Structure 1
Amino acid sequence: MDKSKIKILCVDDEPDILEILKYNLSNEGYDVSTAKDGQKAVEIAKGIVPNVIIMDIMMPNMDGIQACELLRSDKMFNDTLIMFLTARGEDYSHIAAYEAGADDYVQKPVKPKILVSKVKGLLRRSKKNLKKKLRKFNLVTLKSTGINIKSM
């Protein structure tokens, strides 16, 4: 997957966190957008349909859990990976995030290199799953059309 085509939306109400995320992910070649709350994140996501959303939980207007649930309720975001990056360490916060549809949960503080590696790992697994889906789709298509393919 060409990194320049991968869109990442970072959502946090702390400008310093957004700046660090944008700097490090942009340096890796990703196209990075930012939002300061869950409500704005949903608006931006609908416009760009990001590959990855990195989001805090505690934010004004709409928290990250609500934003995640709203995004997951829209089929447009079925393949969007959602990672929570938050200071919340309680078990119930982890559980709420995963139940809302999160793909990963990272507790602040985290070193930027570690976070970038986690994003790369999520994208790698996502790419493998997409290939499996495509292979499955191709098999169904070939069987339903009755086409026989022979190797030469």
Structure 2
Amino acid sequence: MQPLVLIVEDDPGLVELLKYNLEKAGFGTAIARDGEEAMVVLAERTPDLVLLDWMLPITSGIEVCRRIRRQPGTRDLPIIMLTARGEEGDRVRGLESGADDYVTKPFSPSELVARVRAVIRRARPGVDAERLEFADLAMDLVAHRVTRGQRRVHLGPTEFRLMRYFLEHPGRVFSREQLLNAVWGHDVYVEPRTVDVHIRRLRKAINEAGEPDIIRTVRAAGYALDQPEETADA
């Protein structure tokens, strides 16, 4: 799946520059013009990384970063801060607020794209892999094959995409709406309860008698791929 970058920036020219270079490099993009809009976007869909400007209207990038880190569903989300403030104290403050990296304006677009790739790769080691693994479950992206232990698992197309998304983000809790946007597409209207139907199908396919359920239901929040000893049945 195409990695998604949320660009939180109020400068239209810079937004277009970032959007062009990221999409040219194979990333999907979403745009938020201020901190409040960014939090609304994050409630609807979970990107793979946030490019966050320090100097934003309404709510500063530092405060947005802190909010992201306080929320269970986004606290592990990779964040790169963009700022014209290059002093060491500002860099330290940005990193201490929860940012994973810090890029000073003006910057080289190619260097920024390289930074984005590096941060996503650290957060999601399997992003460039041909094989994704978690516990005893493995997905071969080239052969389009899923196995659990020595057993072949047969998944429909939607369940395969759903399982892949979970494998790319182990441990992260996703709401039904976030899964719909990531797996079905942001512009496709599907009832949120449809996710529950496909989760049941996925569980039926990957779990046989005696095998722990690695799809965890988080009450009032959504679903996560989690360690078997920490999972619970829906």
TM-score, structure 2 as length reference: 0.53
Distance in structure 1 (CA, Å) of the matches to 2:126 and 2:98: 17
What does residue 78 of structure 2 align with?
81
Secondary structure at 2:51 match in 1: strand
* Matched positions, count: 137
Matched, 1:97 2:89: no
Q: Residue deviations 1:22-69, cap 9 Å, x none? A: 111111221101111111111111211111000110111001000000
Give the AA of the match of 1:121: A
Choose the corresponding residue for 2:4, options 4, 7, 11. Answer: 7
Secondary structure at 1:76 match in 2: coil
Rg larger in structure: 2
Choose the corresponding residue for 2:29, options 29, 32, 47. Answer: 32
Secondary structure at 1:61 match in 2: coil
Q: Measured at CA, do residues 59 and 129 of structure 1 come closer, stay the same or move farther in structure 2, by a change above 3 Å?
A: same
Contact 2:69 2:76 (C-alpha < 8 Å) held by counterparts: no
Q: Name whichever structure is richer in strand by fraction.
A: 2
Shift of 1:70: 0.5
Shift of 1:79: 2.9
Give the AA of the match of 2:18: L
Residue pairs, 1:126-137, within 5 angstroms: 126-128=123-125, 134=134
Shift of 1:129: 8.7
Q: Residue deviations 1:89-121, cap 9 Å, x none? A: 122221221111100001011111110011111
What does residue 44 of structure 1 align with?
41
Secondary structure at 1:106 match in 2: strand
Distance in structure 1 (CA, Å) of the matches to 2:69 and 2:8: 16
Distance in structure 2 (CA, Å) of the matches to 1:71 and 1:30: 21
Unaligned 5+ segments in structure 1 are 143-152
Secondary structure at 1:98 match in 2: helix
Shift of 1:87: 0.6
Q: Residue deviations 1:67-87, cap 9 Å, x none? A: 000111001113310000111
Distance in structure 1 (CA, Å) of the matches to 2:53 and 2:5: 14
Identity of aligned residues (%): 34
Q: Which has the higher contact order (CA 8 A, sep 6+)?
A: 1
Contact 1:51 1:79 (C-alpha < 8 Å) held by counterparts: no
- Of the structure 1 ranges 27-36 and 64-73, higher mean CA displacement relative to structure 2 is found in 27-36
Q: Name whichever structure is richer in helix by fraction.
A: 1
Contact 1:8 1:33 (C-alpha < 8 Å) held by counterparts: yes
Contact 1:69 1:100 (C-alpha < 8 Å) held by counterparts: yes
Give the AA of the match of 1:9: L
Distance in structure 1 (CA, Å) of the matches to 2:119 and 2:23: 17
Contact 1:11 1:56 (C-alpha < 8 Å) held by counterparts: yes
What does residue 16 of structure 1 align with?
13
Contact 1:87 1:107 (C-alpha < 8 Å) held by counterparts: yes
